[in-house]
Chains A and B, each alone.
Chain A
Amino acid sequence: MNDTQNSLMKTDKPVGIVGYGAYVPRFRLPASEVSKMWTGGTGGVPIQEKAVNGLDEDVVSMSIEAARNALNRAEIDPQLIRAVWVGSESHPYAVKPTSTIVAEAIGAVPHTQAADWEFACKAGTEAMQAAIGFVGSGMARYALSIGMDTAQGRPGDALEYTAAAGGAAILIGSAAEAVAIIEASYSFVTDTPDFWRRAHAQYPSHGDRFTGEPAYFKHIMGAAEALLTGLERTAADYQWAIFHQPNAKFPERAAEMLGFSKAQIQPGLLSPRIGNTYAGSAVIGLTATLDIAQPGDLILMVSYGSGAGSDAFSFRVTDHILAVRDRAPKTEEYITRRQLIDYATYTRYRDKLKMA
């Protein structure tokens, strides 16, 4: 890469996050339950517990609540939203948009764009980047992007410990109204088959250790380094950073490789307590960080989606954050609102029992 300065993704008009909202369902499955079921309780577990959606929850209902939280913070007329974009790998319908249901529920229809996005765990930031372009080009005053998942974990698989439910909605608008201004973003993508789910398959397949170096780390580092170089920054310039969190270890190591301290990633590192929320993972780390950030703080967020690619974003928090953040429940409130369930209840809630 010779010319990263020119290839940073920047908008013509300055844009930012004008509202944000998280959602985490209240059920938690301790990783020890999975271990007890499949390994006799031996061996380590990658996280403490993961969030599990209830019987009446899916990506549609969860996106609606996150979107309402984002709108309550922004205090705008939903009729001014010109795009509702939901990124997920758990859309309830294979054909029939999640986004039209969400748009209807928040009162954004009918004069709006709506679409569902898919790129494994980075579908949410993909929608966000499109929303930035939509607003930054002047095509829309506001665009709503959502990353939300109810991730599928094959019984007994390594990913069953972490595949979780949750996510966040990010409302993009002009920088003048923003709680955080988007300085630039950068995307880094290759064809890397580390994880996939074929059409009609109930559970995903993955390449075990292949998901690490050539997949997660290569793309996270590729996007993050190009963005930092382009902005002529280092980790020391940032107060906070969020990396996609399939477990606790990967984001900690990515942070270390880029020179970020544990303190810088701590507010957004939620995977130990809620698991990997897939398309929601990076964006809910961002909402948790915005809940505690101070005006002037710089935030780096880098998503990762299998298949594979990363989107890196640089944000500058504004004074407006102080007026806005208490208008909706904070991410931490959703995380502490929890009810533990056992493995048997989990199999019922996640439709793992075949009745016929």
Chain B
Amino acid sequence: MEVSRHWRLRTQRYSLVGEICPNCGVKLFPPRDVCLECEAPAKELFTFTGLGEVYSYTTIYDAPAGFERYVPYTVALVKLAEGPLVTAQLTDVAAEDVQMGMPVEMVTRKLTEDGPEGMIVYGYKFRPISLTA
């Protein structure tokens, strides 16, 4: 496992920190340093609220390496309230209960681990909004 690569991504992974374009105001996730709309440099950090809705989804039964222990699990395209589409796992929900348009919120969960002695990787997942406040 590339420890340094995961370490470099920790801020965006733990708390959905992306960027905002100072020129046109578009919010970017993941951060790319260049605005996708107007191509202006965009390095100003922006923390997303973590609220969004399921745009589309699929359920994984044959997982890639590192994710086998979690099957079956659902991966969704989540449309964040601020605009960007993010690919992420859904959690705290059964596959049959997922619907397009379902409101979701970001939580930080365990994504994978490099075996019993390796690094544990944490990051964003989304769950249905069921708690108030």
Contact = CB atoms under 8 A, between A and B. Distances in A.
A92 interface: yes
Contacts of B120: 58, 60, 92-93
Interface string B93-133: 00000000000000111110000000010100100001111
Q: What are the 8 closest A-B residue pairs judged by CB atoms, nearest first? A: A329-B131, A105-B14, A56-B109, A56-B110, A64-B108, A61-B109, A328-B133, A333-B131
Contact of A104 (B14, B47, B131): B14
B11 A56 contact: no
Interface string A52-96: 001111101100110000001000000000000000000011000
A334 interface: yes
B107 A65 contact: yes
Contacts of B10: 104
A60 B133 contact: no
A173 B120 CA distance: 32
Contacts of B107: 61, 65
Given A57-B109, A58-B120, A333-B131, 17 more contacts: A54-B91, A56-B89, A56-B109, A56-B125, A57-B110, A61-B122, A65-B108, A92-B120, A93-B120, A101-B122, A104-B10, A106-B15, A107-B47, A326-B133, A329-B131, A334-B131, A337-B131
B5 interface: no
Contact of B108 (A54, A72, A105, A334): A105
B70 interface: yes
B108 A55 contact: no
A55 B113 CA distance: 12
Contacts of B122: 60-61, 64, 101, 105
A54 B92 contact: yes
Contacts of B11: 104
Instruction: Specify the main secondary structure of chain B where it touches its partner.
Output: mixed
B111 to A, nearest CB: 7
A141 interface: no
Q: Which one of B10, B110, B125 has the highest number of Cβ atoms from chain A below 10 Å of its Cβ?
A: B110
Contacts of A93: 120
B92 A61 contact: no
- What band does the interface of chain B fall in when counting residues whose beta carbon is under 8 Å from A? 20 to 34
Nearest to B127: A26
A321 to B, nearest CB: 14
Interface of A: 26, 54-58, 60-61, 64-65, 72, 92-93, 101, 104-107, 326-330, 333-334, 337
B69 interface: yes
Contacts, number: 57
A26 B89 CA distance: 17
Interface in B34-57: 47
Contacts of B132: 329, 333
A137 to B, nearest CB: 30
Nearest to A329: B131
Contacts of A106: 15
Nearest to A58: B110
Contacts of A330: 133
Nearest to A93: B120
A327 B131 CA distance: 11
Nearest to B110: A56
Contacts of A57: 109-110
A72 B92 CA distance: 22
Given A54-B92, A107-B15, A337 B130 contact: yes
Contacts of A55: 69-70, 110
Nearest to B108: A64
A134 to B, nearest CB: 24
Given A101-B122, A105-B108, A105-B122, A56 B131 contact: no
14 contacts: A26-B92, A55-B69, A56-B111, A57-B109, A57-B110, A61-B110, A64-B122, A65-B107, A72-B133, A92-B120, A101-B14, A107-B15, A333-B131, A337-B131
Contacts of A107: 15, 47
